[in-house]
Structure 1
Amino acid sequence: MELRLLRSFIAVAMNQNFGAAAKALSTTQSALTKQIQVLERQTASTLFTRGRHGAALTPAGEALLVDAVDLVRRADALAQRMERVAAGVEGVLNVGFGMSAIDVAPRAVAAFRASHPGIDIKLEDMSSAGQFAALRDGTLSVGFVRMPVPQDIAAQVIRRDQLALAIPAGETVPEPGRNGLRAWLQNQALVRLVPARGPGLAAQTNELFLDLKCSPTTVYETSDLLTVVALVAAGAGSAVVPASASAILPDGVQLIAIDLESAVWDIGVAWLRESANPLLPLFLGAIESRARA
């Protein structure tokens, strides 16, 4: 059944008169009569009885009216909701972030949610490679990733990050310069994140070790960055972590940034280049405004 026919049927039922209903619908009485006849053929029922006092619902008409009103109301509500979604007033936005964005992503999402309370935002912690795959299959709407990105992914740089040494408080720190850092690392047994859990961090750390021509040993491997810094705080060893991990650093850990080119990378916000998500421009605009501020 077409919504147009149901609307005509409801108008006649509410007005109890074909002429008045036609006027309310801005149509002719003959056109309205034909629409009701089509609906009667579809329902195999007579919906109205006509008399000197107008049009009265038959039992079949009364049965149809309840569901017709409910269906039209839900259709109108859906249309209004889709208008709100298109306008960015409500909807669902799935956001991914990795370890390098552990400080910026939650803050950006919190600020966006405060200004757009009707939008349901879900945060997913995953590697940059995992985010690229999720953007392609539609699981994610937008992600905070390590740059650069594949060709089918669009992105804009929002900040830089760098590696840092997480060292138990009170432990010896490296002497300044490359040689001091190399000598210190070479004598360390490090706590490290499992490479599969943080492939970007593992690759950047290995690039640093290659640049310094050192090969520290590993004393512990864990699948969570919080556990890495907790082990450091407990004195189990030192670690190489993103400097942005300062947002989750427990007491008992000192963080020393590594100022070498091999220890620096860009963080960007990324989305599928062909995405038509109406909420995406709103979110990207909020990120850009926050970056300017």
Structure 2
Amino acid sequence: MNSRLRAFVAVAEHHGYGPAAASAAITQPALTKQIQALERELGGTLFARGRHGATLTEFGATLLPQARELVAAGDEFTRRARRLASGAIGRLSLGFGLSTIDLAPRAVAAFRQSYPDVEISLEDLPSAGQVDRIRNGELHAGFVRLPVDVDLAQRVLRRDQLAVASSGPVSGDVPQLIAQRGLVRLGRAKGPGLTGQVDKLCEAWGIQPATLYETHDLQTVLALVAAGVGPALVPATAARIAPAGVTLTALDHPAAVWDVGIAWRPAQDTALVANFLSVLEKAGGRDR
């Protein structure tokens, strides 16, 4: 129907079959057949043919405005469908965690520049929560600790490591210092990956430091360190949000290191996700 309506509008606007066929890059007989088929379908004559070309009948003149609207609506539908299929529009749901508190917003900003018509949501979630939401389709992709299970696609972006956050320079035996002073800690519910990494390192060191204070926000952890409450073990990348007066000393220990990357479900590997991964790569997301 849409091609026949388009033929109807073309003949009406060009006032003849020959010019309309040329503008549509089809033969005049083919165009004539489309008009005849449309007239049979509608049950009336659209054009009267004479020496001066094709003239709209009253029936055709009455239907022409709506035909133009339908053709324009069909064109808009096609344009929107193609943009949706190419990932130029749509909605992209992403997750991020403590280790990517700087990387994720930077990547989203770069993506917005290339795809301004895509709506993006960015949720702060632990890696385990992100993985669950990626699996059930609530998130398209997430910035997570790696590795994740093999049912998800994944790409390493960089390596992070634990650092001692303190209100002054740290020297000497770091494990002994922490064992003696204790730690300001992030709550396990907020950062299970980070707390698990801290536990792993303390176990490797053979210490069980006391908990001086526990909070559910990394910036509060750093603020407490700045206030002199005690040291904390945090991602080295937290230096980007650390307040004045906090010193971060990276720890060179196998138990203090982990990979950070992006994960997504292969079944959701749509144009939106592919475009985001491409922008992430070009924006220097891999800074390992």
TM-score between both structures, scaled by the size of structure 1: 0.81
| Aligned-CA RMSD value | 3.0
In structure 1, the partner of 2:107 is: 108
Equivalent residue in structure 2 for 1:209, among 202, 217, 221: 202
1:228 aligned partner: 221
Instruction: Give the one of 30, 45, 48 matched to 2:46.
Output: 48
Q: Which moved more, 1:222-231 or 1:261-270?
A: 222-231
Name the residue aligned to 1:237. 230
Q: How far is 1:64 from its partner?
A: 3.9
1:160 corresponding residue in structure 2: 159
CA distance in 2, matches of 1:83, 1:168: 55
TM-superposed deviation, 1:215? 2.0
Moved more, 28-37 or 47-56: 47-56
Shift of 1:123: 2.7
Instruction: Indicate how the Cα distance of structure 1 residues 185 and 38 shifts in structure 2: closer, same or farther if over 3 A, else same.
Output: farther
> Does structure 1 residue 175 correspond to structure 2 residue 172?
yes
1:68 aligns with 2:70: no
The total of aligned residue pairs comes to 281
Cα offsets for 1:164-196 (capped at 9, x unmatched): 1212247xx4623xxx41x22223343322212
Deviation at 1:223, TM superposition (A): 2.2
Q: Secondary structure of 1:187's partner?
A: helix
The alpha-carbon distance between structure 1 residues 140 and 22, as it changes in their structure 2 partners (threshold 3 A), is same
**1:36 shift after superposition:** 1.6
Partner of 1:139: 138
Q: Is the 8 A contact 1:22 1:32 kept in 2?
A: no
3-state DSSP of counterpart to 1:259: coil
Q: Matched residues in 2 for 1:47 and 1:136: separation?
A: 57
* Residue 75 of structure 2 corresponds to residue 58 of structure 1: no
2:267 pairs with one of 258, 265, 274:
274
- Conserved 8 A contact 1:231-1:237: yes
For 1:50, the aligned partner's letter is A
Deviations 1:202-242 (A, max 9, x none): 21112122222322222333222122212222333332211
Look up the SS of the partner of 1:186 in the other structure: helix
CA contact (8 A) 2:8 2:35 kept: no
The answer for the alignment partner of 1:261 in structure 2 is: 254
Distance 1:57 1:123, change over 3 A: farther
What secondary structure is seen at the aligned counterpart in 2 of 1:274? helix
Which residue of 2 is the match for residue 36 of structure 1?
38
The 2-side partners of 1:229 and 1:38 are apart by: 77
Taking a change above 3 Å as real, the CA distance of residues 217 and 63 of structure 1, as seen in their structure-2 partners, is farther
- Paired AA for residue 175 in structure 1: G
**Judging changes above 3 Å, is the alpha-carbon distance between structure 1 residues 99 and 57 closer, same or farther for their aligned structure 2 residues?**
farther
Amino acid at match of 2:156: V
What TM-score comes out, normalization by structure 2 length?
A: 0.82
Moved more, 197-206 or 280-289: 280-289
Deviation at 1:119, TM superposition (A): 4.7
**1:58 alignment partner AA:** E
Change (3 A) 1:71 1:230: farther
For residue 69 of structure 1, report the CA deviation from its aligned partner. 2.0
Structure 2 spans left out of the alignment, 5+ residues: none
Q: What percentage of residue pairs aligned between the two structures are identical?
A: 42
Structure 1 residue ranges without an equivalent (≥5): none
Distance 1:38 1:272 in 2: 50
Say if 1:62 and 1:154 are closer, same or farther in 2 by CA, change over 3 A: same
SS in 2 for 1:219: strand
Kept in 2, the 8 Å contact 1:18–1:33? The answer is no
CA contact (8 A) 1:13 1:57 kept: no
- Tell me the secondary structure at the aligned position of residue 166 of structure 1: strand
Cα deviation, residue 9, structure 1: 2.8
- Residues 239-290 of structure 1 show CA distances to partners (whole Å, capped at 9, x for unaligned) of 2211111111111211122221111111112222233312433433343342
171, 190, 193: which one pairs with 1:197?
190
1:127 equivalent in structure 2: 126
